[in-house]
Amino acid sequence: MKVAIETDKEQELEVEDGTTIEALLARLGINRETVAVSLNGALCTEEEPLRPGDRLRVIKVVTGG
Amino acid sequence: MAECDRCGARAVYNRRYCGQRLCRDLFFAYIEARVRRAVKTQKIFERGEKVGVALSGGKDSSALLYLLSQLSMGLELHPIAIDEGIAGYRPHGLEAARALCSQLGLELHTVSFRERLGHTLDEMVKWERGYAGCTYCGVFRRRLLNDAGRELGLSKIATGHNLDDEAQAVMMNYTRGDIERLLRLGTPGDLGLLPRVKPLQEVPEKEVAIYALLRELPVSLEECPYARDAFRLGIRDFLNGLELANPGIKYSILRGYKRLLPHLATYPRTAVKRCGACGEPTPNPLCKACELLGALPE
């Protein structure tokens, strides 16, 4: 199935049914401790499974300095 | 759908370090209770106190100002924004800071590097002296906050330092073997500066961000273009890697440090003198601000 993901760029990814946000972040090399995730416009936990057509936004919340 | 462990509603956050999922309302309640408890148990403020809040327009200081405005302690809050003069970055933060202050009915005090020091940070980093932006910014921002706090007759300044900042600072000083700085981290204000307090010290950075996002506070999530302190970034990434595999490790670092602190009381400290140029407290003949100012062109 395909899901749309927005990090610092927007892309469409092919993922297996039942893939969780957590697993997708790990696949992309993103540490979940450093981001908040919004699924179809609402903040959620990383355990949520993705469904076809979902739109995921990954918001970087850990800053440098 | 992940459910809130307490009410069954849709969960917005998983506190992995204690295995608790929370819905939006109970997440708000948890964060607000955590800050109230810190303020009470650490006796951070006196009732009705005149407090400065260092406000950058970022998530941490904005969440801090909002949370302090909700405390029923009659605090007189004075948000202070430092305009370092970073083109393309600071204007967005200042805009967010103004919007938040307007929402909360508070007057924003803005102090700029250009007005107080004669130069913007963008200009300073171009001088041949070769200091990194963070060096100028840290020293002068601390100085200007202190000056503004005194001018406004404030008793202390609250900053948005969160658990991640504190764990990083502990590990940076520890791994550098800088025990004196490690000690000073836990005793703010002991160099004669206006005391600093950190009510978000026990709230993880991710939770502060989620709180600000869920509350829809006007914040800027942009990263400073000068944030290139490689050592701090290395420690930050190391700790986040540890936290991923061992949820709660940042809390352990802070708690361990607080247990260690009383045992460091006898560690010899460099005597505090007065800066030969400006009279501010410093362990050196010239304070760092005057040393850097002396290096700036007229």
Mean pLDDT of B43-68: 96
Element (DSSP H or E) covering residue B70:
helix B59-70
Decide if pLDDT at A52 tops 90: yes
DSSP-derived pairing of the beta strands B273-274 and B281-282 = antiparallel
- The percent of residues above 70 in pLDDT, for chain A, comes to 97
Closest CA to A46 of B241, B208, B14: B14
Decide if pLDDT at B184 tops 60: yes
Interface predicted TM-score (ipTM) over 0.90: yes
Beta bridge partners of B254: none
Into how many domains does chain A fold? 1
Beta bridge partners of B11: B23
* Chain B interface disruption, residue of A30, A38, A45, most B CBs within 10 A: A45
Confidence band for B189, pLDDT divided at 50, 70 and 90: low
Q: Which residues of B touch A60 (CB under 8 A)?
A: 221, 223
Confidence band for B103, pLDDT divided at 50, 70 and 90: very high
Residues of A with CB under 8 A from a CB of B: 31-36, 42-48, 59-65
B85 or B294: which carries more pLDDT confidence? B85
Q: Which residues of A touch B221 (CB under 8 A)?
A: 59-61, 63
Mean pLDDT of B113-123: 94
Among chain B residues, CA nearest to A51 = B1
pLDDT on residue B112:
97
B231 or A26: which carries more pLDDT confidence? A26
Decide if pLDDT at B297 tops 80: no
Q: Which residues of B touch A45 (CB under 8 A)?
A: 2, 11-14, 21
Structural domain containing residue A27 = 2-60
Mean pLDDT of B147-167: 96
CA trace torsion A23, A28, A29, A32 (10° rounding): -50
| CATH number of residue A6's parent domain | 3.10.20.30
Mean pLDDT of B108-129: 92
Q: Which CATH class is domain B24-295?
A: alpha beta
pLDDT on residue B298:
47
DSSP-derived pairing of the beta strands A55-60 and B20-23 = unpaired
Taking the Cβ of residue B216 and every Cβ of chain A, the question of whether any pair is shorter than 8 Å is answered with: no
Mean pLDDT of A3-31: 95
Which sequence spans correspond to the domains of chain B? Answer: 24-295
Element (DSSP H or E) covering residue A56:
strand A55-60
| B16-36 tens-digit pLDDT | 999 999 999 999 999 999 999
CB contact under 8 A, A65 and B229: yes
Q: If you ran DSSP here, which 8-state letter would residue B272 be given?
A: P
- The percent of residues above 90 in pLDDT, for chain B, comes to 74
Q: Where are the beta strands (DSSP E) in B165-237?
A: 196-197
Q: In this complex, how many residue pairs, one in chain A and one in chain B, have their CB atoms less than 8 Å apart?
A: 72
Q: Which amino acid is at B51?
A: V
pLDDT on residue B131:
82
B213 or B226: which carries more pLDDT confidence? B213
Average pLDDT value for chain B: 92
Q: If you ran DSSP here, which 8-state letter would residue B15 be given?
A: E
pLDDT on residue B245:
96
Closest CA to B158 of B128, B104, B196, B190: B196
pLDDT on residue A64:
60
Q: Which amino acid is at B219?
A: V
Handedness of CA B177, B180, B185, B187 (dihedral sign): positive
Inside any domain, residue A65:
no
Mean pLDDT of B181-189: 80
